[in-house]
Chain A
Amino acid sequence: MDPRQRPLLHRRLGVFKGLAWSLVALLVLIYAWLQIVRHGEFKQLAMQQAVKIRPIAAPRGLVLDRNGYRLVDNRRALHLVIQREDLPARAEVVQSLAQALELDPAGLMRKIQSYRLAGKGRPLVLKENLDDAGIAQAERVRARFPFLSVDVAPRRVYLGDELAGHVLGYVGEVDEPMMKANPDVFRLGETIGKEGFEASGNDKLKGVDGQRRILVDQLGTEVAHFGQTDAIAGRSLYLTLDAGLQKVMQDAYGEEAGAAVVLDLRDGGILAMYSSPSYDPNLFLNRLSQEMVDRYLNNPARPMINRAIQGIYAPGSTFKLLVALAGLEKGVITPQTVIYCAGKKNFYGRDFRCDKPTGHGGLNLVQAIAQSCDVYFYEVASRLDVDDIYATAEKYGLTERTGIDLPREKRTRIPSRAWKRKAVPKDPKWYAGETISVGIGQGAVGVTPIGLARFYATLATRGKVLTPHLFYGFRSDQTNQLEPAPPPGTKETPLDPKLWAVLDEGLYEVVQSGTAAANPFIREMAREAPFVGKTGTAQVATFVDKSHYARQAKHLKDHALFAGYAPHDKPQIAFAVVVENAGFGSTAAAPIAAKLVKYWFVDRVKNPIPPPRGRMVDPFAPPAEAAE
């Protein structure tokens, strides 16, 4: 090396050395910034992604009938899920996952997106209630997509299948509109009651979900587990329902459509409630197939409607008791008033016909009820204003919802001047002739079976307006016995005992000598289990429909009704039975009532029906019909 060059080179290398140490110092500063100044923040981030809290679904309480028979049970079910933090982001991954699981890719993408938007909650369920083939498929797919996991969760089993579908309802995942409406109450993916008592009794049945704190790796696989808070199962509870009576009711309907209710007169407990056609809640636990949608949701017979609380039927002659009560209380008739029936009578220039074209002749009130004479009640109605009838109906609770502990109960429709102004704004005036139709439970009058049953319960109890209910009490955790809950309140509107005696006698005569007595089966049954009631043959078949009133003269279909109570001397139960498009109340509806009464008072003691088993021995097997 040129010796003159060396000092210069050394000076420059000295600068290099300085630069090298500056570089080291710069890096040290960067790391000091990250590791000392911002340590807390990064430590938290590291924790957040490695330590996860996974919910443990709490089983819901069991639902028992009044005797402790299981109506709703829990089983274990396996679901294929993705934990929230493991949701695949890339479209190709979603695409191939959908392919592997035989799902619709667009649908899966939408599902993932909507799941991502909502708050923290349970894992996203891809496939529910895996059967053996499903478990095998899930394991195969999991090998390719390690972010999938299999969750064990309790699953509901409805033991009676269609036995009490409308009463029990079913559970499902909380949906988005519901969650948005109550963000503090529900979490996404949570199982809640969707219909029936599962929905209205959700707060009673649901438990408290537990939590597992676990360590996960980058793929979301559980690496370690630091402890958990156990789920607290929901409390089991008793319904007022009697499974045996319910079974009798179900069998009595067969293929017929309609609804029936039996009330316990002591407290308003519902002993049986059936709406036909019914549905099997077990089928609604899985995602609905198109077949299910066609079978249930698009069925013109509308099996999803609980006709007992949502069906509005013209009460027909069963309404005559209320008209009689209105006439008696208003003083336009007395029990002794005799009205002559010639088969028809002219009011306001129009002939109103009686059921019996030849006429009943002269009748007092008891005979008029027993024979169901229309002319008699036309006359009573003509002496009243429609608002008088409404006032009586209001007094005895018929204008309001009964307040049963089921969701979406419909109100009965008792017409009044105010009602018509609102319901028919094109023709708001009330015509006196309309009151005549109301007198025999036609025209705009529409009642729910539960409302009708409660009115007859009010007659049976001489003025108690009960609150029908299903909740009977919780099951004690210590003794496993019923802890009866106080029944909901009762409104007392005392009936004049003299008036009541006349109505009661009228109802007695219906079965003994009147319209229902024509049926030998009824006469025989009434001897075994003395019951009283009123037949009805109603003309208009429609659910709530504003245009109904204008069209009511056209599409006339007869519904058969029977409402009453038993036993006659010391009533314990009241009932209402509606059979759609079945003809006369005495031939179609009264026999069902007779069977119910007979089971309750005779067979229940001697020969009770065993607890419901359901056809689902294997709860994961598809129903027999769907398999075909």
Chain B
Amino acid sequence: MKDRVRALDSRLLWVILALMALGTLTLYSAGRNTPQATIWLKQTVWNLMGLALMLLLANTNPRRVLRYSFPAYLLGLAALMAVLVVGKKIGGATRWFVVAGQTFQPSELMKWVTLLYVSQRLGTRPAGNVGRWEVLGAVGLVAFPMLLVQRQPDLGMALSFLPILLIIPLMKGLRARWVVALLLLVTVGGFGAWKFALKPYQKQRVMIFLDPSSDLQGKGYQVNQSRIAIGAGGLIGKGFTSGSQTQLNFLPVKTTDFAFSVWAEERGFLGVLLALGLFGLLLSRILDAAKAAHTTAEAYFCAGAAGIFALHLLVNVGMVAGALPNKGMVLPFFSAGGSSTLSFFLALGLIMGILYRSKVK
């Protein structure tokens, strides 16, 4: 067991444990005096399972995992298609399988499987031998599950697939024409999406983002209350379990999407600084793993993982502050949820494995 624990990177581990502690405290406070009073305990169980999964993967050769990425990718696509047919519909979206009373969201895991497979595909080609068809193929590999996820519909989750494409500039460099192409794609895609693909509630979210006061009782209400909570926290915060916005239930969905607002209200700007600093260290250490990686595929995986973590951080922490549209993207370690927790720990386990291999040799 000691040997196995040695496989864990201590710097990354401390950051993870610290963030876990912050998240658990937040959930304890958010669940107090609500029907979800024990949510911090449930999340602790998920976290422990996640740690175990991480330990297992840290001791597994990443190359072996990468080898199974193609069948896993196919299985994932099948699961995404199946969930559209037999999945459980909650709040107008079909995103979940229900197995033995537990809900499981296949898209959470699929994001990482897609990253694995794209990393494997692009990373195993000889450098300089990757043409534009290979690149377009990679874009297609990402776009296909994204579209399936958007069918559920789940725009936030679909968007969280995008950081996988960061591998391309990592591989090919950031050329001007790529930037122009990307901007063009975003403009045309955005316009097209607005016209044809976005559901009315998604359009509404964008409208509310542009003018939060337009819907103070509905979706705008959530962000508005969240901003009040964050702002009222001030420099040092209202104190643990003492935030009026949190404890009097003005803050909505405070155990998932708006968990960070709870932390910000009760721990203030200093607490926010601590949490964001830890997230910075996390991203930084994941990128260190990319540098240290033995193989190109592993490096690509780490870089993509850093991108996915960064996107979650940006969208969730920005959204609760009203700086980004209300997208419903979870914050790792803070938002309660089994599928997402296990998925994040799975990625972290692979990264631990990559770091361990680089040190062993």
Contacts and interface: CB of A to CB of B under 8 A. Distances in A.
Contact of B314 (A15, A23, A45, A46): A23
Contact of B235 (A16, A35, A90, A218): A35
A44 to B, nearest CB: 9
A4 interface: yes
A347 interface: no
B244 interface: yes
Contacts of B268: 35
B228 A2 contact: no
Interface in A1-43: 1-2, 4-5, 8-10, 12-13, 15-17, 19-21, 23-24, 27-28, 30-32, 34-36, 38-39, 41-43
B276 A42 contact: no
A496 interface: no
Contacts of A19: 310
A39 B231 contact: yes
A13 B291 contact: yes
A36 B228 contact: no
A13 B303 contact: yes
Contact of B126 (A2, A47, A216): A2
A78 interface: no
B249 A30 contact: no
B152 to A, nearest CB: 27
A23 B173 contact: no
B169 interface: yes
Given A1-B294, A1-B299, A218-B248, A42 B269 contact: no
A45 B232 contact: yes
Nearest to A44: B232
Given A20-B283, A39-B235, A1 B291 contact: no
Contact of B230 (A42, A47, A50, A215): A42
A30 to B, nearest CB: 5
Interface in B201-246: 217, 227-235, 244-245
A23 B310 contact: yes
B248 A43 contact: no
A253 B317 CA distance: 81
A605 interface: no
Contacts of B169: 12
B170 A31 contact: no
Interface in A213-257: 215-219, 223
A42 B231 contact: yes
B269 A32 contact: yes
Contact of A31 (B230, B249, B314): B230
Given A17-B284, A17-B287, A34 B303 contact: no
A178 interface: no
Nearest to B269: A35
A23 B312 CA distance: 11
Interface residues of A, number: 43
Contact of A16 (B272, B303, B317): B303
Contacts of B127: 2, 4-5
A2 B296 contact: yes
A8 B321 CA distance: 37
A28 B231 contact: no
A106 interface: no
B250 interface: yes
Given A12-B170, A23-B314, A27-B276, A217 B235 contact: no
B232 A39 contact: yes
A89 interface: yes
Contact of B272 (A31, A46, A223): A31
Interface in B266-295: 268-269, 272-273, 276-277, 279-280, 283-284, 287, 290-291, 293-295
A217 B243 CA distance: 12
A35 B245 contact: no
A286 B230 CA distance: 47
A346 interface: no
28 contacts: A2-B127, A4-B127, A5-B127, A9-B299, A12-B170, A13-B291, A13-B303, A16-B170, A16-B303, A17-B284, A21-B283, A23-B283, A24-B283, A27-B313, A27-B321, A31-B272, A31-B276, A34-B231, A35-B233, A35-B235, A41-B231, A43-B232, A43-B234, A49-B250, A50-B244, A50-B245, A216-B248, A223-B248
Given A1-B293, A35-B231, 13 more contacts: A2-B126, A2-B296, A17-B284, A21-B284, A23-B313, A27-B313, A31-B276, A32-B269, A34-B227, A39-B233, A46-B245, A50-B245, A215-B244
Interface of B: 126-127, 166, 169-170, 173-174, 217, 227-235, 244-245, 248-250, 264, 268-269, 272-273, 276-277, 279-280, 283-284, 287, 290-291, 293-296, 299, 303, 306, 310, 313-314, 317-318, 321, 323
Interface of A: 1-2, 4-5, 8-10, 12-13, 15-17, 19-21, 23-24, 27-28, 30-32, 34-36, 38-39, 41-43, 45-47, 49-50, 89-90, 215-219, 223
Which 5 pairs show the lowest CB-CB distances between chains A and B? A42-B231, A46-B232, A20-B283, A24-B280, A217-B248
